Structure 1
Amino acid sequence: MRINKYIAEAGIASRRKADELIRQGKVKINGAVLTQPGYDVQDGDEVIVCGQPVRHAEQNKVYYMLNKPAGCITSVHDDKGRPTVMDLMQEVEERIYPVGRLDFQTSGLLFLTNDGDFAYHLTHPKHEVGKTYVLRAEGSLSHRQLQLLRNGVNIGGFKTSPAHVRVLKCNKHSTVLEMTIHEGKNRQIRRMLEAVGSHVLELERIAYGNIVLGHLKPGRFRRLSPSEVAYLMQKA
């Protein structure tokens, strides 16, 4: 089994995060730092991740939705000692990890699981499920700025796909928008607003496909239903 899948199925991290850990030299095979991301784990191999041995054990696959508060790191660990989303999930017995990420100051809907295939499908670049955000942007956005967002903008060598943009509220100081995008580039919404000459003041993800945050309070989480999991896998 490929090493990133092996780590994901052990409930340590998603495949993409596992690849990142390998690049950082945090994965060892039989006592040696792994330098081959494509390594296939063999029977009898000792796998160490971040100093801890990895053991595969049968466990129930679980799926959660968290309303991530701003000021919280989307990570299992943080070397700087900052609060992470895992601090909010201490009631969960299974070893889980976040699917994708929301940046430090972004709040809202985040999935966590121990299912490597689920995480892989939702985060793979070719799987473009619509993600909906509500944001407050600096200033009163003009019709031209809104059309640029709707048509797609260049955010540093990458032109975004057309976005669905709806104005919820506007005054001379700020504009509240609902935006749906289909890619998942790093800080994409913030970079899109910067590209049209504005700045994001607040940002919350409220939906992933038709799975909505609803009335889940910041810092709280709930299990996804089997039908929600099936929907997400089908969409991805």
Structure 2
Amino acid sequence: MTDANDRGADSTEGVRLQKVLAAAGVASRRLSEQLIVEGRVEVNGRVVAELGSRIHPATDLVAVDGVAVQLDPAKRYYMLNKPRGVVSSMRDEQGRPDLTRFTDELEERVFNVGRLDAETSGLLLLTNDGDLAHVLAHPSFGVEKTYIAKVRGRITPQTLQKLKQGIELEDGLIRADRAKLLQRQGDDRHSIVELTLHSGRNRIVRRMLDAVGHPVVDLVRRSFGPLNLGTLRSGAMRELTKVELGQLLTISRAADTARLGDAGSNERDS
């Protein structure tokens, strides 16, 4: 919560916290007051339990029950189930089908967080929140992605273990955080496997499975961080729920806090 003395302003500056929560869609004004009184609301990491508290929505960070709340109404977040044959670009120079077919009717200009190759379908996040996009797309922040792959051949427990232990590719070692067999098909001619990893390298799942002798026939990204595709049909798009958005913002703010802590530590050590 911004201190009035820090801003050189009087104590009436800012917006009442319960009004901000209601405007953000957290709860009604009355229920927001109850959340505050119960000590379930934090502003800039501090519990605020006074109903007269005022904040500055443009600069203060609010969380309810430890989950971050987005106070900027201009920020938008969409989940798309990208079909096969669509490139992860807002403008494809080769004239291939791109993401504009899903975003042209939106009032806001959004962009994709990370990429899926044209032949991979599944969950793609679209947003105009650059800070969030940076955290989610960068492998150093460890945001996990889960893929379901149909591959040629019979996947063995030894192969799954190799995927988890690590494979040396042309651009370095890569390992899956988790790998499991879901199903075998057609007299073991095909296997269905689930891989979870946090790497953002190009076509990494296909290259990993190629390297262990099981080329990918079909590949779908089912989850991205806390987001799950669920029953969203291919080619459909929807806005994130308040819960989903809160989970993403919580990840982003935790990463920012860790980054600031590392920067402070480096300054002290230098």
| TM-score under structure 2 length normalisation | 0.63
Q: Indicate conservation of the 8 Å contact 1:152/1:163, yes or no.
A: no
What secondary structure is seen at the aligned counterpart in 1 of 2:78? strand
Out of 79, 86, 111, the residue aligned to residue 65 of structure 1 is 79
**What's 1:178 paired with?**
194
Unaligned runs of at least 5 residues, structure 1: 1-57
**How far apart are residue 227 of structure 1 and its match?**
2.8
What secondary structure is seen at the aligned counterpart in 2 of 1:159? strand
Out of 165, 178, 196, the residue aligned to residue 179 of structure 2 is 165
**How far apart are residue 145 of structure 1 and its match?**
1.6
**How far apart are residue 141 of structure 1 and its match?**
1.7
**What's 1:150 paired with?**
164
**What's 2:147 paired with?**
133
Q: Percent identity?
A: 41
Higher relative contact order (CA 8 A, sep 6+): 1
What secondary structure is seen at the aligned counterpart in 2 of 1:190? helix
Q: Give per-residue Cα distances to partners, 1:124-182, cap 9 Å, x unaligned.
A: 23111111111101111223222111212112131113431111111421100111112
Out of 149, 167, 187, the residue aligned to residue 203 of structure 2 is 187
Out of 110, 116, 123, the residue aligned to residue 137 of structure 2 is 123
Q: Give the alignment of 1:1-236 within 5 angstroms.
A: 60-171=74-185, 172-236=188-252
Distance (Å, rounded) in 2 between the aligned partners of 1:229 and 1:112: 12
**How far apart are residue 89 of structure 1 and its match?**
2.3
**What's 2:45 paired with?**
none
Q: Indicate conservation of the 8 Å contact 2:91/2:99, yes or no.
A: no
Equivalenced residues, count: 179
Distance (Å, rounded) in 1 between the aligned partners of 2:78 and 2:100: 12
Instruction: Say what the alpha-carbon RMSD is for the aligned residues.
Output: 1.6
Distance (Å, rounded) in 1 between the aligned partners of 2:171 and 2:131: 30
The one-letter amino acid of 1:213's match is L
Runs (4+) of structure 1 moved beyond 6 Å?
Answer: none
| TM-score under structure 1 length normalisation | 0.72
Bigger helix share: 2
Distance (Å, rounded) in 2 between the aligned partners of 1:207 and 1:226: 17
The one-letter amino acid of 1:76's match is M
The one-letter amino acid of 1:229's match is L
Which structure would you say has the larger Rg? Answer: 2
Unaligned runs of at least 5 residues, structure 2: 1-71, 253-270
**How far apart are residue 214 of structure 1 and its match?**
0.5
